[in-house]
Copies of this chain bind each other. A is one copy, B any other.
Amino acid sequence: MRIAPLFLNSSRRLLFLSRMASNKVLTTENINPQVITMQYAVRGPIVIRAVEIEKELAKGANKPFKNVIKANIGDAHAMGQKPITFIRQVLACVSNPSLMETGKFPSDVIEHSKTLLGGCGGHSAGAYSQSTGIDVIRKHISEYISKRDGFPCDMENVILSGGASESIRNVLKLFIRRDGSKKVGVMIPIPQYPLYSASTEEFGLGQVGYYLHEEKNWSLEENELERAYQESLKKFDTRVLCVINPGNPTGQVLSRQNIETIIKFAHKHHLFLMADEVYQDNIYAEGSKFHSFKKVINEMGDPYNKMELASFHSVSKGYMGECGMRGGYVEFFNLDPQVYVLFKKMISAKLCSTILGQVVMDCVVNPPKPGEPSYDLWLKEKTAVLDSLKQRATLVKEAYGSIEGIRCNEVQGAMYAFPQIELPQKAIDKARSLGQEPDFFYAMQLLESTGVCIVPGSGFGQKQGTYHFRTTILPQPELMKDMLTRFKSFHTKFLQEYK
Protein backbone atom coordinates (compact mmCIF):
# COMPACT_ATOMS: atom_id res chain seq x y z
CA MET A 1 0.00 0.00 0.00
CA ARG A 2 1.40 3.35 -1.02
CA ILE A 3 0.88 6.53 0.99
CA ALA A 4 -0.43 9.62 -0.77
CA PRO A 5 2.59 11.92 -0.99
CA LEU A 6 2.09 15.03 1.11
CA PHE A 7 3.78 17.27 -1.40
CA LEU A 8 1.01 16.85 -3.95
CA ASN A 9 -1.45 19.71 -4.13
CA SER A 10 -4.90 19.00 -2.81
CA SER A 11 -6.65 18.18 -6.09
CA ARG A 12 -3.91 15.85 -7.25
CA ARG A 13 -3.79 14.36 -3.76
CA LEU A 14 -7.51 13.70 -3.94
CA LEU A 15 -7.07 12.08 -7.34
CA PHE A 16 -4.29 9.98 -5.92
CA LEU A 17 -6.43 8.88 -3.01
CA SER A 18 -9.45 8.07 -5.15
CA ARG A 19 -7.22 6.06 -7.45
CA MET A 20 -5.82 4.20 -4.47
CA ALA A 21 -9.30 3.39 -3.27
CA SER A 22 -10.08 1.45 -6.40
CA ASN A 23 -6.43 0.52 -6.79
CA LYS A 24 -6.94 0.29 -10.55
CA VAL A 25 -5.93 2.73 -13.27
CA LEU A 26 -8.97 1.87 -15.34
CA THR A 27 -12.31 1.56 -13.58
CA THR A 28 -15.98 1.85 -14.39
CA GLU A 29 -15.70 5.38 -12.94
CA ASN A 30 -13.27 6.61 -15.59
CA ILE A 31 -13.84 4.24 -18.52
CA ASN A 32 -15.07 5.57 -21.85
CA PRO A 33 -18.70 6.23 -20.86
CA GLN A 34 -20.02 5.07 -24.24
CA VAL A 35 -18.67 1.62 -23.47
CA ILE A 36 -20.99 1.57 -20.48
CA THR A 37 -24.08 2.79 -22.30
CA MET A 38 -23.78 0.84 -25.56
CA GLN A 39 -25.77 -2.38 -25.78
CA TYR A 40 -25.61 -5.30 -28.19
CA ALA A 41 -28.52 -7.56 -27.39
CA VAL A 42 -27.73 -10.25 -29.95
CA ARG A 43 -24.83 -11.17 -27.69
CA GLY A 44 -26.28 -9.79 -24.48
CA PRO A 45 -26.99 -11.32 -21.06
CA ILE A 46 -29.45 -13.92 -22.38
CA VAL A 47 -26.85 -15.27 -24.75
CA ILE A 48 -24.13 -15.19 -22.08
CA ARG A 49 -26.45 -17.23 -19.84
CA ALA A 50 -27.13 -19.63 -22.75
CA VAL A 51 -23.40 -20.30 -23.07
CA GLU A 52 -23.18 -20.91 -19.33
CA ILE A 53 -26.07 -23.36 -19.49
CA GLU A 54 -24.33 -25.22 -22.31
CA LYS A 55 -21.25 -25.56 -20.12
CA GLU A 56 -23.42 -26.74 -17.20
CA LEU A 57 -25.06 -29.35 -19.43
CA ALA A 58 -21.65 -30.52 -20.64
CA LYS A 59 -20.70 -31.07 -17.00
CA GLY A 60 -23.79 -33.23 -16.54
CA ALA A 61 -26.12 -30.71 -14.90
CA ASN A 62 -29.69 -31.90 -14.54
CA LYS A 63 -32.02 -29.69 -16.61
CA PRO A 64 -35.48 -30.15 -18.08
CA PHE A 65 -33.85 -30.16 -21.56
CA LYS A 66 -30.87 -31.81 -23.16
CA ASN A 67 -29.47 -29.03 -25.28
CA VAL A 68 -29.60 -25.29 -25.85
CA ILE A 69 -31.18 -24.20 -29.15
CA LYS A 70 -29.58 -20.94 -30.18
CA ALA A 71 -32.10 -19.04 -32.22
CA ASN A 72 -30.51 -15.77 -31.15
CA ILE A 73 -28.10 -15.15 -33.97
CA GLY A 74 -28.01 -15.56 -37.74
CA ASP A 75 -25.34 -18.25 -37.57
CA ALA A 76 -26.37 -20.88 -40.10
CA HIS A 77 -23.45 -23.31 -39.78
CA ALA A 78 -23.77 -23.36 -36.00
CA MET A 79 -27.34 -24.55 -36.54
CA GLY A 80 -26.25 -27.40 -38.78
CA GLN A 81 -26.20 -25.89 -42.28
CA LYS A 82 -23.43 -27.47 -44.37
CA PRO A 83 -20.88 -25.32 -46.20
CA ILE A 84 -21.03 -24.94 -49.98
CA THR A 85 -18.48 -27.37 -51.42
CA PHE A 86 -17.13 -24.98 -54.04
CA ILE A 87 -16.31 -22.31 -51.44
CA ARG A 88 -14.50 -24.74 -49.17
CA GLN A 89 -12.55 -26.29 -52.02
CA VAL A 90 -11.30 -22.88 -53.12
CA LEU A 91 -10.41 -22.04 -49.50
CA ALA A 92 -8.42 -25.25 -49.16
CA CYS A 93 -6.51 -24.63 -52.42
CA VAL A 94 -5.76 -21.02 -51.59
CA SER A 95 -4.62 -21.96 -48.07
CA ASN A 96 -2.52 -24.86 -49.24
CA PRO A 97 -1.69 -24.42 -52.93
CA SER A 98 0.09 -27.77 -53.17
CA LEU A 99 -3.38 -29.34 -53.09
CA MET A 100 -3.95 -28.04 -56.61
CA GLU A 101 -1.39 -30.57 -57.85
CA THR A 102 -3.18 -33.58 -56.36
CA GLY A 103 -5.69 -33.98 -59.18
CA LYS A 104 -8.46 -34.12 -56.58
CA PHE A 105 -10.07 -30.75 -57.29
CA PRO A 106 -12.28 -29.66 -60.20
CA SER A 107 -10.53 -27.52 -62.80
CA ASP A 108 -12.68 -24.46 -62.13
CA VAL A 109 -11.79 -24.59 -58.42
CA ILE A 110 -8.12 -24.63 -59.38
CA GLU A 111 -8.52 -21.86 -61.92
CA HIS A 112 -10.44 -19.75 -59.42
CA SER A 113 -7.81 -20.36 -56.73
CA LYS A 114 -4.95 -19.50 -59.08
CA THR A 115 -6.59 -16.23 -60.06
CA LEU A 116 -6.98 -15.31 -56.41
CA LEU A 117 -3.43 -16.31 -55.48
CA GLY A 118 -2.27 -14.21 -58.43
CA GLY A 119 -3.81 -11.24 -56.68
CA CYS A 120 -1.99 -11.96 -53.41
CA GLY A 121 1.43 -10.56 -52.53
CA GLY A 122 4.00 -13.32 -53.07
CA HIS A 123 1.10 -15.51 -54.25
CA SER A 124 0.27 -16.21 -50.61
CA ALA A 125 -2.88 -15.65 -48.59
CA GLY A 126 -0.46 -14.85 -45.78
CA ALA A 127 0.48 -11.49 -47.32
CA TYR A 128 -1.42 -8.31 -46.50
CA SER A 129 -3.60 -6.98 -49.28
CA GLN A 130 -4.09 -3.31 -49.93
CA SER A 131 -6.45 -1.90 -47.32
CA THR A 132 -9.15 -1.73 -49.97
CA GLY A 133 -8.82 -5.46 -50.66
CA ILE A 134 -7.41 -7.61 -53.43
CA ASP A 135 -7.95 -5.90 -56.78
CA VAL A 136 -9.14 -8.93 -58.70
CA ILE A 137 -11.80 -9.53 -56.03
CA ARG A 138 -12.89 -5.89 -56.16
CA LYS A 139 -13.22 -6.35 -59.91
CA HIS A 140 -15.38 -9.46 -59.51
CA ILE A 141 -17.57 -7.65 -56.98
CA SER A 142 -18.02 -4.73 -59.36
CA GLU A 143 -19.00 -7.15 -62.14
CA TYR A 144 -21.49 -8.83 -59.82
CA ILE A 145 -23.06 -5.49 -58.90
CA SER A 146 -23.16 -4.30 -62.52
CA LYS A 147 -24.91 -7.49 -63.57
CA ARG A 148 -27.30 -7.45 -60.60
CA ASP A 149 -28.38 -3.86 -61.17
CA GLY A 150 -27.93 -3.29 -64.88
CA PHE A 151 -25.90 -0.20 -64.05
CA PRO A 152 -22.13 0.03 -64.09
CA CYS A 153 -20.11 -0.29 -60.89
CA ASP A 154 -16.54 0.94 -60.79
CA MET A 155 -14.29 -1.45 -58.86
CA GLU A 156 -12.51 1.57 -57.40
CA ASN A 157 -15.65 2.23 -55.37
CA VAL A 158 -15.63 -1.19 -53.72
CA ILE A 159 -13.80 -1.87 -50.46
CA LEU A 160 -13.60 -5.23 -48.75
CA SER A 161 -13.92 -5.59 -45.00
CA GLY A 162 -14.19 -8.13 -42.20
CA GLY A 163 -17.91 -8.77 -42.61
CA ALA A 164 -20.35 -6.02 -43.50
CA SER A 165 -20.29 -4.84 -39.86
CA GLU A 166 -16.79 -3.45 -40.18
CA SER A 167 -17.72 -1.42 -43.25
CA ILE A 168 -20.90 -0.12 -41.64
CA ARG A 169 -18.93 0.99 -38.60
CA ASN A 170 -16.25 2.59 -40.79
CA VAL A 171 -18.83 4.62 -42.68
CA LEU A 172 -20.58 5.73 -39.47
CA LYS A 173 -17.22 6.88 -38.10
CA LEU A 174 -17.01 9.51 -40.81
CA PHE A 175 -19.82 11.39 -39.07
CA ILE A 176 -18.26 11.60 -35.59
CA ARG A 177 -17.74 15.07 -34.15
CA ARG A 178 -15.87 15.86 -30.96
CA ASP A 179 -16.08 19.64 -30.96
CA GLY A 180 -19.20 19.89 -28.81
CA SER A 181 -21.39 20.89 -31.74
CA LYS A 182 -24.69 19.12 -32.37
CA LYS A 183 -24.27 15.40 -32.77
CA VAL A 184 -24.86 14.06 -36.25
CA GLY A 185 -28.17 12.19 -36.19
CA VAL A 186 -28.36 8.78 -37.82
CA MET A 187 -31.82 7.52 -38.73
CA ILE A 188 -32.22 3.84 -38.02
CA PRO A 189 -35.28 1.63 -38.12
CA ILE A 190 -37.04 0.52 -34.96
CA PRO A 191 -36.87 -2.41 -34.55
CA GLN A 192 -33.26 -2.41 -35.77
CA TYR A 193 -30.23 -4.62 -35.84
CA PRO A 194 -28.32 -3.61 -32.69
CA LEU A 195 -25.08 -3.08 -34.58
CA TYR A 196 -26.56 0.32 -35.42
CA SER A 197 -27.59 1.32 -31.92
CA ALA A 198 -24.35 -0.04 -30.43
CA SER A 199 -22.15 1.72 -32.96
CA THR A 200 -23.96 5.07 -32.94
CA GLU A 201 -23.76 5.01 -29.15
CA GLU A 202 -20.10 4.00 -29.12
CA PHE A 203 -19.25 6.74 -31.62
CA GLY A 204 -21.23 9.44 -29.87
CA LEU A 205 -23.66 9.84 -32.76
CA GLY A 206 -27.34 10.66 -32.34
CA GLN A 207 -29.72 7.75 -32.72
CA VAL A 208 -32.88 8.76 -34.56
CA GLY A 209 -35.34 5.89 -34.58
CA TYR A 210 -38.10 5.64 -37.14
CA TYR A 211 -40.72 3.00 -36.47
CA LEU A 212 -41.52 0.32 -39.00
CA HIS A 213 -45.24 -0.29 -39.41
CA GLU A 214 -45.88 -3.69 -37.85
CA GLU A 215 -49.49 -3.94 -39.01
CA LYS A 216 -48.34 -3.39 -42.62
CA ASN A 217 -45.71 -6.12 -42.39
CA TRP A 218 -42.98 -3.81 -41.10
CA SER A 219 -43.12 -1.45 -44.04
CA LEU A 220 -41.43 1.90 -43.95
CA GLU A 221 -43.71 4.92 -44.27
CA GLU A 222 -42.90 8.43 -45.29
CA ASN A 223 -44.90 10.22 -42.61
CA GLU A 224 -43.08 8.26 -39.92
CA LEU A 225 -39.71 9.06 -41.49
CA GLU A 226 -40.75 12.70 -41.60
CA ARG A 227 -41.89 12.70 -37.97
CA ALA A 228 -38.67 11.11 -36.77
CA TYR A 229 -36.54 13.47 -38.84
CA GLN A 230 -38.33 16.63 -37.73
CA GLU A 231 -38.25 15.64 -34.07
CA SER A 232 -34.57 14.77 -34.29
CA LEU A 233 -33.62 18.29 -35.41
CA LYS A 234 -34.23 19.62 -31.92
CA LYS A 235 -31.25 17.62 -30.74
CA PHE A 236 -29.25 16.53 -33.74
CA ASP A 237 -27.87 17.53 -37.11
CA THR A 238 -29.47 14.56 -38.85
CA ARG A 239 -27.59 13.59 -41.97
CA VAL A 240 -27.69 9.82 -42.37
CA LEU A 241 -30.51 7.40 -43.16
CA CYS A 242 -29.89 3.68 -42.61
CA VAL A 243 -32.17 1.13 -44.19
CA ILE A 244 -31.96 -2.63 -43.69
CA ASN A 245 -33.47 -4.52 -46.60
CA PRO A 246 -34.43 -7.35 -46.33
CA GLY A 247 -35.15 -6.43 -42.76
CA ASN A 248 -33.34 -7.54 -39.64
CA PRO A 249 -34.94 -8.39 -37.19
CA THR A 250 -38.23 -7.95 -39.00
CA GLY A 251 -37.88 -10.12 -42.12
CA GLN A 252 -39.74 -7.78 -44.49
CA VAL A 253 -38.69 -7.12 -48.09
CA LEU A 254 -39.18 -3.53 -49.22
CA SER A 255 -41.18 -3.03 -52.38
CA ARG A 256 -39.71 -0.99 -55.19
CA GLN A 257 -42.33 1.68 -54.49
CA ASN A 258 -41.31 1.80 -50.85
CA ILE A 259 -37.64 2.21 -51.78
CA GLU A 260 -38.52 5.10 -54.11
CA THR A 261 -40.37 6.80 -51.28
CA ILE A 262 -37.34 6.42 -49.03
CA ILE A 263 -34.98 7.76 -51.66
CA LYS A 264 -37.19 10.80 -52.29
CA PHE A 265 -37.36 11.44 -48.58
CA ALA A 266 -33.58 11.20 -48.24
CA HIS A 267 -33.13 13.53 -51.17
CA LYS A 268 -35.55 16.08 -49.79
CA HIS A 269 -33.62 16.28 -46.52
CA HIS A 270 -30.18 15.87 -48.04
CA LEU A 271 -29.39 12.63 -46.21
CA PHE A 272 -26.55 10.21 -46.77
CA LEU A 273 -28.02 6.78 -47.53
CA MET A 274 -26.69 3.60 -45.96
CA ALA A 275 -28.27 0.46 -47.41
CA ASP A 276 -27.63 -2.72 -45.44
CA GLU A 277 -28.37 -5.34 -48.08
CA VAL A 278 -26.67 -8.38 -46.59
CA TYR A 279 -29.79 -10.50 -47.01
CA GLN A 280 -30.15 -9.79 -50.72
CA ASP A 281 -30.20 -13.52 -51.56
CA ASN A 282 -32.71 -14.33 -48.81
CA ILE A 283 -36.09 -13.67 -50.40
CA TYR A 284 -38.86 -16.15 -49.76
CA ALA A 285 -42.31 -14.61 -50.12
CA GLU A 286 -44.38 -14.93 -53.26
CA GLY A 287 -44.18 -11.63 -55.14
CA SER A 288 -41.28 -10.28 -53.09
CA LYS A 289 -38.16 -9.28 -54.97
CA PHE A 290 -34.88 -7.71 -53.93
CA HIS A 291 -34.27 -4.24 -55.34
CA SER A 292 -30.92 -2.69 -54.52
CA PHE A 293 -30.87 0.97 -53.59
CA LYS A 294 -28.14 1.48 -56.15
CA LYS A 295 -30.41 0.19 -58.91
CA VAL A 296 -33.48 2.15 -57.87
CA ILE A 297 -31.51 5.38 -57.45
CA ASN A 298 -30.17 4.94 -60.95
CA GLU A 299 -33.52 4.06 -62.42
CA MET A 300 -35.06 7.16 -60.86
CA GLY A 301 -32.55 9.29 -62.78
CA ASP A 302 -31.65 12.88 -62.07
CA PRO A 303 -31.43 14.28 -59.39
CA TYR A 304 -31.63 11.04 -57.38
CA ASN A 305 -28.77 9.36 -59.20
CA LYS A 306 -26.47 12.03 -57.77
CA MET A 307 -27.17 11.01 -54.19
CA GLU A 308 -24.52 9.58 -51.90
CA LEU A 309 -25.03 5.95 -51.07
CA ALA A 310 -23.06 3.29 -49.26
CA SER A 311 -24.37 -0.23 -49.67
CA PHE A 312 -23.17 -3.33 -47.87
CA HIS A 313 -22.96 -7.03 -48.51
CA SER A 314 -21.53 -9.98 -46.59
CA VAL A 315 -20.56 -13.64 -46.84
CA SER A 316 -22.26 -14.35 -43.51
CA LYS A 317 -25.83 -14.64 -44.74
CA GLY A 318 -27.42 -15.63 -48.07
CA TYR A 319 -27.17 -19.34 -48.91
CA MET A 320 -23.52 -19.65 -47.80
CA GLY A 321 -23.78 -18.48 -44.17
CA GLU A 322 -20.01 -18.21 -43.80
CA CYS A 323 -20.15 -15.98 -40.69
CA GLY A 324 -16.85 -17.16 -39.24
CA MET A 325 -14.96 -16.16 -42.38
CA ARG A 326 -15.53 -12.42 -41.86
CA GLY A 327 -15.97 -11.32 -45.46
CA GLY A 328 -17.93 -8.33 -46.67
CA TYR A 329 -17.76 -5.16 -48.68
CA VAL A 330 -19.07 -1.63 -49.05
CA GLU A 331 -19.81 -0.06 -52.42
CA PHE A 332 -19.75 3.72 -52.41
CA PHE A 333 -21.75 5.67 -54.94
CA ASN A 334 -21.32 9.40 -55.52
CA LEU A 335 -19.05 9.77 -52.51
CA ASP A 336 -17.09 13.03 -52.53
CA PRO A 337 -13.69 12.03 -53.99
CA GLN A 338 -11.76 13.81 -51.25
CA VAL A 339 -13.85 12.08 -48.61
CA TYR A 340 -13.05 8.79 -50.29
CA VAL A 341 -9.32 9.48 -50.07
CA LEU A 342 -9.73 10.17 -46.35
CA PHE A 343 -11.79 7.02 -45.88
CA LYS A 344 -9.08 4.93 -47.47
CA LYS A 345 -6.47 6.58 -45.28
CA MET A 346 -8.58 5.90 -42.18
CA ILE A 347 -8.97 2.19 -42.88
CA SER A 348 -5.27 1.80 -43.71
CA ALA A 349 -4.43 1.88 -39.99
CA LYS A 350 -6.28 -1.42 -39.71
CA LEU A 351 -4.05 -2.83 -42.49
CA CYS A 352 -6.46 -5.09 -44.36
CA SER A 353 -9.31 -7.50 -43.84
CA THR A 354 -8.62 -11.22 -43.76
CA ILE A 355 -7.52 -12.57 -47.14
CA LEU A 356 -9.46 -15.81 -46.71
CA GLY A 357 -12.59 -13.79 -45.91
CA GLN A 358 -11.98 -11.87 -49.12
CA VAL A 359 -11.59 -15.19 -50.95
CA VAL A 360 -15.01 -16.34 -49.71
CA MET A 361 -16.50 -13.03 -50.85
CA ASP A 362 -15.05 -13.71 -54.28
CA CYS A 363 -16.67 -17.15 -54.40
CA VAL A 364 -20.01 -15.54 -53.58
CA VAL A 365 -19.90 -12.87 -56.27
CA ASN A 366 -18.14 -15.05 -58.83
CA PRO A 367 -19.55 -18.56 -58.42
CA PRO A 368 -19.21 -21.41 -60.93
CA LYS A 369 -20.89 -20.73 -64.27
CA PRO A 370 -23.11 -23.11 -66.26
CA GLY A 371 -20.96 -25.67 -68.02
CA GLU A 372 -18.13 -25.47 -65.48
CA PRO A 373 -17.43 -28.66 -63.53
CA SER A 374 -18.51 -27.28 -60.13
CA TYR A 375 -21.68 -25.64 -61.39
CA ASP A 376 -24.23 -28.41 -60.92
CA LEU A 377 -23.24 -29.25 -57.36
CA TRP A 378 -22.99 -25.57 -56.45
CA LEU A 379 -26.48 -24.88 -57.82
CA LYS A 380 -27.92 -27.94 -56.11
CA GLU A 381 -26.45 -26.98 -52.73
CA LYS A 382 -27.45 -23.34 -53.06
CA THR A 383 -31.01 -24.18 -54.09
CA ALA A 384 -31.38 -26.73 -51.31
CA VAL A 385 -30.38 -24.18 -48.66
CA LEU A 386 -32.64 -21.45 -50.00
CA ASP A 387 -35.58 -23.81 -50.46
CA SER A 388 -35.18 -25.11 -46.94
CA LEU A 389 -34.96 -21.58 -45.52
CA LYS A 390 -38.12 -20.73 -47.41
CA GLN A 391 -39.92 -23.68 -45.86
CA ARG A 392 -38.69 -22.76 -42.40
CA ALA A 393 -39.80 -19.16 -42.95
CA THR A 394 -43.32 -20.43 -43.54
CA LEU A 395 -43.13 -22.94 -40.71
CA VAL A 396 -42.07 -20.30 -38.18
CA LYS A 397 -44.77 -17.87 -39.18
CA GLU A 398 -47.46 -20.54 -39.05
CA ALA A 399 -46.24 -22.07 -35.82
CA TYR A 400 -45.98 -18.81 -33.88
CA GLY A 401 -49.13 -17.48 -35.51
CA SER A 402 -51.08 -20.43 -34.10
CA ILE A 403 -50.11 -19.73 -30.49
CA GLU A 404 -52.47 -17.79 -28.26
CA GLY A 405 -51.29 -14.25 -27.60
CA ILE A 406 -48.65 -14.24 -30.35
CA ARG A 407 -48.85 -12.42 -33.68
CA CYS A 408 -46.23 -13.06 -36.33
CA ASN A 409 -45.84 -11.29 -39.65
CA GLU A 410 -44.87 -13.14 -42.77
CA VAL A 411 -41.11 -13.75 -43.03
CA GLN A 412 -40.68 -12.36 -46.54
CA GLY A 413 -36.91 -12.48 -46.44
CA ALA A 414 -33.73 -12.42 -44.32
CA MET A 415 -33.46 -15.01 -41.52
CA TYR A 416 -35.68 -13.78 -38.73
CA ALA A 417 -39.17 -13.53 -37.38
CA PHE A 418 -40.04 -10.83 -34.86
CA PRO A 419 -43.31 -11.98 -33.31
CA GLN A 420 -45.28 -9.81 -30.94
CA ILE A 421 -46.27 -11.34 -27.61
CA GLU A 422 -49.07 -10.18 -25.37
CA LEU A 423 -47.68 -10.44 -21.86
CA PRO A 424 -50.08 -10.68 -18.90
CA GLN A 425 -49.95 -7.67 -16.58
CA LYS A 426 -48.81 -9.90 -13.73
CA ALA A 427 -45.77 -10.95 -15.76
CA ILE A 428 -45.03 -7.33 -16.62
CA ASP A 429 -45.26 -6.37 -12.96
CA LYS A 430 -43.05 -9.26 -11.95
CA ALA A 431 -40.42 -8.25 -14.52
CA ARG A 432 -40.49 -4.62 -13.40
CA SER A 433 -40.12 -5.70 -9.80
CA LEU A 434 -36.91 -7.43 -10.85
CA GLY A 435 -35.75 -4.34 -12.75
CA GLN A 436 -36.06 -6.18 -16.05
CA GLU A 437 -37.76 -5.41 -19.33
CA PRO A 438 -40.83 -7.66 -19.55
CA ASP A 439 -39.70 -9.34 -22.76
CA PHE A 440 -36.25 -9.86 -21.28
CA PHE A 441 -37.88 -11.57 -18.31
CA TYR A 442 -39.91 -13.72 -20.68
CA ALA A 443 -36.88 -14.68 -22.79
CA MET A 444 -34.80 -15.55 -19.72
CA GLN A 445 -37.59 -17.73 -18.32
CA LEU A 446 -37.88 -19.44 -21.70
CA LEU A 447 -34.15 -20.12 -21.75
CA GLU A 448 -34.00 -21.46 -18.21
CA SER A 449 -37.01 -23.74 -18.63
CA THR A 450 -36.53 -25.00 -22.19
CA GLY A 451 -33.00 -24.16 -23.41
CA VAL A 452 -34.45 -22.09 -26.26
CA CYS A 453 -32.39 -18.93 -26.74
CA ILE A 454 -34.10 -15.98 -28.41
CA VAL A 455 -33.46 -12.25 -28.13
CA PRO A 456 -36.01 -9.99 -26.42
CA GLY A 457 -37.53 -7.26 -28.58
CA SER A 458 -36.27 -4.58 -26.25
CA GLY A 459 -32.78 -5.25 -27.63
CA PHE A 460 -33.93 -4.12 -31.06
CA GLY A 461 -36.36 -1.40 -30.08
CA GLN A 462 -40.16 -1.57 -30.27
CA LYS A 463 -43.17 0.66 -29.74
CA GLN A 464 -43.72 1.39 -26.09
CA GLY A 465 -46.08 -1.07 -24.47
CA THR A 466 -45.48 -3.77 -27.07
CA TYR A 467 -43.31 -6.82 -26.53
CA HIS A 468 -41.55 -8.95 -29.10
CA PHE A 469 -38.71 -11.36 -29.56
CA ARG A 470 -36.42 -12.15 -32.44
CA THR A 471 -35.93 -15.72 -33.47
CA THR A 472 -33.89 -16.92 -36.40
CA ILE A 473 -35.36 -19.38 -38.88
CA LEU A 474 -32.03 -21.22 -38.92
CA PRO A 475 -32.46 -24.35 -36.81
CA GLN A 476 -32.61 -27.31 -39.19
CA PRO A 477 -36.17 -28.63 -39.72
CA GLU A 478 -36.13 -31.30 -36.99
CA LEU A 479 -34.57 -28.98 -34.44
CA MET A 480 -36.97 -26.25 -35.51
CA LYS A 481 -39.94 -28.47 -34.74
CA ASP A 482 -38.37 -29.39 -31.40
CA MET A 483 -37.89 -25.69 -30.66
CA LEU A 484 -41.46 -24.81 -31.55
CA THR A 485 -42.77 -27.61 -29.33
CA ARG A 486 -40.67 -26.46 -26.38
CA PHE A 487 -41.73 -22.89 -27.01
CA LYS A 488 -45.46 -23.64 -27.18
CA SER A 489 -45.42 -25.66 -24.00
CA PHE A 490 -43.47 -22.93 -22.16
CA HIS A 491 -45.72 -20.18 -23.43
CA THR A 492 -48.88 -21.96 -22.31
CA LYS A 493 -47.46 -22.52 -18.82
CA PHE A 494 -46.23 -18.94 -18.66
CA LEU A 495 -49.68 -17.56 -19.53
CA GLN A 496 -51.26 -19.78 -16.90
CA GLU A 497 -48.76 -18.77 -14.24
CA TYR A 498 -49.19 -15.05 -14.77
CA LYS A 499 -52.87 -14.94 -15.76
Given the known A-B contacts A33-B179, A43-B348, are A270 and B81 also in contact in the complex, defined by CB atoms under 8 Å? Answer: no
Distance in angstroms between the alpha carbons of A471 and B178 in the assembled complex:
36
- Tallying the copies of this chain within the complex gives 2
Please pick, from B31, B169, B271, B342, the residue contacting A31 in the complex, using a CB distance under 8 A: B342
Distance of A343 Cα from B40 Cα, bound (Å): 12
Inter-chain contact A326/B338, CB cutoff 8 Å? no
Residues of B within 8 A of A104 (CB): 102
Choose among B32, B127, B336 the residue that contacts A176 (Cβ–Cβ < 8 A). Answer: B32
A351 within 8 Å of B (CB atoms): yes
Tally of A interface residues using CB under 8 Å: 108
Q: Which of A305-341 contact B (CB under 8 A)?
A: 306, 308, 320-326, 334-336, 338-339
Instruction: Pick the contact of A177: B32, B38, B166, B338 (CB < 8 A).
Output: B32
A42 — which chain B residues lie within 8 A by C-beta?
348
A-B contacts besides A26-B239, A99-B99, 5 pairs, CB < 8 Å: A33-B179, A34-B176, A35-B342, A91-B356, A173-B202
A88 contacts B by Cβ under 8 Å: yes
A306 touches B122 (CB 8 A): no
Residue on B nearest A324 in the bound complex, by CB: B355
Asked if A163 is an interface residue, CB under 8 A from chain B, the answer is yes
Q: Contacts A35-B345, A99-B92 given; indicate if A126 touches B324 (C-beta within 8 A).
A: yes
Which single member of B174, B334, B339, B354 contacts A356 (CB below 8 Å)?
A: B354
Residue of B nearest to A266 (CB): B25
Q: How far is the CA of A265 from the CA of B166 in the complex (A)?
A: 37
**Smallest CB-CB A-B distances: 3 pairs:** A78-B121, A324-B355, A77-B124
Q: Does A129 lie at the interface of the complex (its beta carbon under 8 Å from any beta carbon of B)?
A: yes
Query: Which residues from B are CB-within-8-Å of A6?
Result: none
A275 within 8 A of B: no
CB of A199 within 8 Å of the partner chain: yes
- Find chain B residues with CB under 8 A from A348 CB: 40, 42-44
CB A116 to nearest CB in B, in angstroms, measures 11
**Contacting residues, chain B, for A102 (C-beta < 8 A):** 104
A 80-103 binary contact with B (CB < 8 Å = 1; else 0): 111100001101100110010010
Contacts of A308 in B (CB 8 A): 24-26
Tell me whether B165 and A324 are in contact (CB under 8 A): no
What residues of B have a CB within 8 angstroms of the CB of A38 in the complex?
345-346, 349
Most chain B CB within 10 A, of A34, A75, A78, A126, is at A126
In the bound complex, CA of A292 to CA of B39 (Å)? 35
Is A223's CB within 8 Å of the partner chain B? no
A391 interface residue per 8 A CB criterion = no
Chain B contacts for A303, CB-based, 8 A: 1-2
The one of B30, B89, B325 that contacts A125, using a Cβ cutoff of 8 Å: B325
Looking at the complex, which one of B44, B120, B175, B345 makes contact with A324 (CB distance below 8 Å)? B120
